[in-house]
């Protein structure tokens, strides 16, 4: 065998091995810019924030006819994925799942997430669910219950969880956090609980640094009419989410000092965690933490309905658990 032929065979073997380790990813829901942004990060090796190890190859369009932010975007994002990235469309989630190793559920509307997740769970493919995990707390609980029963790994998070400053505090840069304030836009959408639609971003930053252990919530408004939610954690710690149309941010006080938190550092840090999750099948955020976060937001709505009353998260969870049964 000639030297050049041997080198060619080695190159082809290495290329085959590289492709074999690259996970094939399917997307459900082409009604959000995350579908195109995540695909650019994964599929374009020339992208400045390229993440290797997975590639989007398939999609199910989805879309909700009663939410303009959904139906008005599907055609544009579908064209981008098919024309620019060569993503193949499928008429059903089941057909798409047969061609991929893992799935990103990107539907901007949280209401269909439960049924869409069920279709993925039936195929036992690992599933990342973009915000919000569901359209109601009841559906969020049901998603994790079904996933656990089916032994299918599932993970959900906002990209705000993986901001550099927020993660530094999360891993202990200022010790145990005693109090924190996070802010973000909180646009409302009438088919979702108030904070599920967009306030989830700032709330997730808050939970990233505070952790679990929130016991009660009360919701008020600021002097300029913005949403403000104050949570009391075990040990007397406090965490506040505040609506702010100007952007994302926050600050935290810990036993070793204070630090800024809550900034948005792009999508790539989240995509890195998604790929790691697909490879390991180990969720980087527990179901318990995610469900407490969404209980916090549901309790904020209940406080609003009760004119700012203090609402215990345990009561909200108990009421919702009965609805699931």
Report the pLDDT averaged over residues 16-37: 85
pLDDT at 323: 77
Instruction: Report the C-alpha gap between 124 and 130 in whole angstroms.
Output: 18
Residue 3 predicted with pLDDT over 70: no
Give the containing element (helix H, strand E) for 172: none
Please report which confidence band the pLDDT of residue 242 belongs to, taking 50, 70 and 90 as the band edges: very high
Q: For 90-133, how does the pLDDT look when each residue is reduced to its tens digit (9 = 90+)?
A: 999 999 999 999 999 999 999 999 999 999 999 999 999 999 99
Domains detected in the chain:
15-159 (3.40.50.720), 161-264+285-324 (3.30.360.10)
Residue 268 predicted with pLDDT over 60: yes
Q: Burial letters for 13-22: b for 16+ Cβ neighbours within 10 Å, e otherwise?
A: eeeeeeeeee
Residues 176 and 255: beta-carbon distance below 8 Å: yes
Instruction: Report the C-alpha gap between 30 and 200 in whole angstroms.
Output: 20
pLDDT at 153: 98
Report the pLDDT averaged over residues 39-57: 97
Task: Output the six-digit token pair for 139.
Answer: 């559906």
pLDDT at 16: 43
Give which of 179, 180, 162 is closest to 171, Cα–Cα. Answer: 162
Q: Is the peptide bond before 216 cis (omega within 30 degrees of 0)?
A: no
What is the 8-class DSSP label of residue 226?
Answer: -
Report the pLDDT averaged over residues 70-79: 96
- Comparing 6-20, 29-43, 202-216, the range with the smallest average pLDDT is 6-20
Q: For 168-214, how does the pLDDT look when each residue is reduced to its tens digit (9 = 90+)?
A: 999 999 999 999 999 999 999 999 999 999 999 999 999 999 999 99
Report the pLDDT averaged over residues 261-287: 98
> What percent of the chain is predicted at pLDDT more than 70?
93
Helices and strands, counts by H and E, the chain:
14, 13
Helix ranges, the chain (H): 3-21, 33-43, 68-71, 74-79, 85, 93-97, 113-121, 137-150, 164-170, 194-197, 200-210, 268-280, 287-305, 313-324
Report the pLDDT averaged over residues 48-65: 97
Residue 322 predicted with pLDDT over 90: no
What is the 8-class DSSP label of residue 161?
Answer: G
- Between residues 136 and 5, which one has the greater pLDDT? 136
Task: Output the six-digit token pair for 266.
Answer: 């792009």
Instruction: Report the C-alpha gap between 318 and 180 in whole angstroms.
Output: 27
Q: Mean of the per-residue pLDDT values for the chain?
A: 94
pLDDT at 321: 80
What is the 8-class DSSP label of residue 25?
Answer: E
Report the pLDDT averaged over residues 34-40: 98
CA distances from 114 to 127, 196, 248 (A): 12, 15, 29
Task: Please enumerate in sequence order all residues whose Cβ is within 8 A of that of 132, keeping only pairs 6 or more positions apart, or say none.
Answer: 110, 113, 140, 192, 196, 197, 200, 294
Report the pLDDT averaged over residues 60-74: 95
pLDDT at 78: 98
């Amino acid at each position: 065998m000639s030297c050049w032929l041997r080198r060619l065979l080695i190159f082809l073997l290495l290329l085959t091995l590289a492709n074999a380790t690259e996970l094939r990813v399917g997307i459900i829901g082409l009604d959000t810019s995350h579908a195109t942004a995540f695909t650019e990060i994964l599929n374009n090796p020339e992208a400045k924030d390229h993440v290797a190890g997975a590639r989007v190859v398939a999609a199910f369009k989805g879309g909700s006819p009663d939410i303009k932010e959904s139906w008005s975007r599907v055609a544009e994002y579908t064209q981008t994925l098919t024309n620019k990235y060569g993503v193949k469309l499928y008429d059903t989630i089941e057909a798409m799942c047969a061609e991929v190793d893992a799935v990103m559920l990107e539907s901007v509307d949280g209401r269909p997430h439960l049924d869409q997740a069920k279709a993925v769970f039936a195929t036992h493919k690992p599933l990342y669910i973009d915000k919000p995990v569901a359209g109601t707390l009841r559906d969020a609980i049901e998603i994790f219950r079904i996933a656990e029963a089916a032994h299918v790994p599932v993970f959900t998070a906002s990209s705000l969880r993986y901001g550099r400053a927020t993660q530094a505090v999360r891993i202990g840069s200022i010790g145990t956090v005693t109090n924190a304030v996070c802010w973000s836009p909180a646009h409302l959408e009438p088919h979702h609980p108030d904070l599920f639609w967009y306030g989830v971003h700032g709330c997730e930053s808050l939970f990233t640094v505070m952790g679990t252990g929130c016991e009660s919530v009360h919701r008020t408004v600021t002097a300029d009419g913005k949403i403000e939610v104050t949570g009391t954690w075990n040990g007397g710690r406090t965490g506040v989410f505040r609506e702010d149309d100007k952007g994302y941010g926050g600050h935290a006080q810990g036993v070793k000092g204070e630090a800024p938190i809550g900034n948005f550092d792009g999508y790539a840090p989240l995509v890195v965690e998604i790929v790691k999750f697909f490879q390991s099948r180990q969720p980087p955020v527990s179901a318990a933490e995610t469900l407490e976060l969404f209980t916090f937001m549901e309790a904020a709505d209940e406080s609003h309905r009760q004119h700012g009353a203090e609402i215990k998260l345990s009561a909200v969870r108990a009421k919702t658990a009965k609805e699931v049964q």
